[in-house]
Amino acid sequence: MGNIVWLASYPKSGNTWLRAFLANLMANRPTPVALAELPNYGRLEAEPELYSRIAGRPSTDLDFAQLCALRPQVHAAIAATATRTVFVKTHSMAGIVDGVPLLTPQVSAGSIYVVRNPLDVAISMSHHFGIDQDAAIDYLNSENSATENSEMFVTEFLGSWSQHVKSWADMESERILILRYEDLLEKPAKWFGKVARMVGTEDRTRIERAIRHCDFRALAEMEKRDGFVEVPIKGKRFFRAGRSNQWREKLSREQVARIIAAHREQMQRFGYVPGGY
């Protein structure tokens, strides 16, 4: 068994919130961990420098197949440079592409996966990527969805929202924790407490302080004051609303129906299908 614990989610589902909690849990200090410090408490699976170093040329020059072929080496390099468990953020589906696993089993110790109602994900993605809501819904529904290859992040293969969620949720075991974004909002002590116990911490005072320090309003205020390098579009806010059921105010009935038609099985699995649909 390896030493990487994957912090996984479909985009705009709470992954960075989870990273902030873990950073504050590990730091265990009276003041919150700054957003700029998050890389000190984990790694990004899509970090371009890792791929560029191994390939011997810029990662932006590599196509998707070449990036996939490099992934096992990148994951092994991350694992080798860590002296203990290392948390690695990923948006990749838990699958195999071109015969290469998107996540390397030999270096994996476990995973924490956050799932969020796709009706709200569509709204958040629309703001985050600067696209309209129908385009965001198309993205959620496409089995070929992937992030772009840029100087900020290399491409990660997502598939559709349902494919992504199923690929992770079907693997649930004692080494894989599946969390609902909405549960983290409603009962943070209970569910972030499960995260803390999974990584070996049961100190209630420490957990409660980490929860306070990663409160969405606190993160939004830090971003407003200091900025956040992971924002893909200049002028956009990464931490925008941080609440559930925004879709009731923002999506048309037709848009809601499109999402449910494409994802009903997995939405039912996690209690996301609203009455009347």
What's the pLDDT tens digit per position in 212-237?
998 877 777 777 666 665 555 454 55
Angle formed at CA 234 by CA 233 and CA 237, multiple of 5 degrees: 80
Which string of b and e fits 150-176 if b means at least 16 CB within 10 Å?
A: eeebbbbbbbbbbbbbbbbbeeeeeeb
Residue 124, helix vs strand vs coil: helix
Q: What is the pLDDT of residue 235?
A: 47
pLDDT digits (tens, 9 = 90+) for 3-46: 999 999 999 999 989 999 999 999 999 999 988 888 889 999 99
Q: What is the pLDDT of residue 221?
A: 76
Tell me the domains of the chain and their CATH numbers: 4-269 (3.40.50.300)
CA 183 to CA 5: how far, in whole Å?
A: 21
Of the candidates 199, 253, 157, 221, the one whose C-alpha atom is nearest the C-alpha of residue 7 is 199
pLDDT digits (tens, 9 = 90+) for 47-94: 999 999 999 999 999 999 999 999 999 999 999 998 889 999 999 999
Q: Which two tokens stand for residue 96?
A: 């195999």
CA 119 to CA 248: how far, in whole Å?
A: 9
Phi, psi of 208 (to 5 degrees): -65, -35
Of the candidates 129, 124, 133, the one whose C-alpha atom is nearest the C-alpha of residue 258 is 133
* H-only helix segments in 94-203: 118-129, 133-141, 161-169, 181-186, 188-198
Handedness of CA 202, 204, 206, 212 (dihedral sign): positive
Q: What is the pLDDT of residue 230?
A: 57
